[in-house]
A = this chain, B = another copy of it.
Amino acid sequence: MKAKKKPITSETKSPSKPPRAGRPRSAESHDAILAAALKLLHERGYRSVTIEGIASEAAVGKQTIYRWWRSKAEVILEAFARYTAGRIAVPDSGNLQTDLQVFLTQAFDGLTQESGEVVRGLMSEALIDPDFAEAMRDIFIASRRSALRDILFKGIQRGELASDVDIELIIDLIYGPMWYRLLNKHAPLNPRFAKQISEMIASKLTRSD
């Protein structure tokens, strides 16, 4: 765990530890900050969002932001995570290739347009700031890998995949191409690509069945 460091996301102290004294954290400010971050993100794009802009938009002191987050990237990460919460649906069609294709198509949809730009902005930060990269992994990457892991695990239970397959490797092979296109924009993240990846993975791993 992280121990003494500032928590990645702004949680008002763990509920078990009583905060003891002092004015408690303002939920209104917290929400206003995240809402302002999201608004500016859509209006101006990741690069043009600033801490000062968020503070001003949220009618909040800058210090209140710095008290709970370490950088603009972390504010935006939390805002974006809240915004996309619950959007990761795990399909269950009974067939691995179909599950993958549906899942990836849906994932690609979530990376088009503005959302894609936001994710690119967040990753830009993560590439440069190790602390934030950790936050990004914990909050953003992990949940998406977990969803994919579920799909693959169901494939194993169904017998479509060998039980000794290296799931983490498969996940890298699937998400890798997605990120590669998201980063480089040399080709689109369209349903066709989702199908190609799914077909590749499923046919390779299940051919001997």
Contact = CB atoms under 8 A, between A and B. Distances in A.
Contact of A180 (B46, B124, B133, B176): B176
Copies of this chain assembled into the complex: 4
Contact of A197 (B121, B168, B173): B173
Interface in A137-167: 137, 141, 166
A114 interface: no
Interface residues of A, number: 39
Contacts of A125: 124
B180 A172 contact: yes
A172 to B, nearest CB: 5
A127 B133 contact: no
A126 B187 contact: no
A200 B137 CA distance: 26
Given A133-B184, A169-B196, A204-B200, A47 B128 contact: yes
Contacts of A168: 187
19 contacts: A46-B128, A47-B128, A123-B124, A123-B183, A124-B128, A127-B183, A133-B184, A141-B184, A141-B186, A166-B196, A172-B177, A172-B193, A175-B176, A175-B180, A176-B179, A176-B180, A179-B180, A180-B180, A203-B204
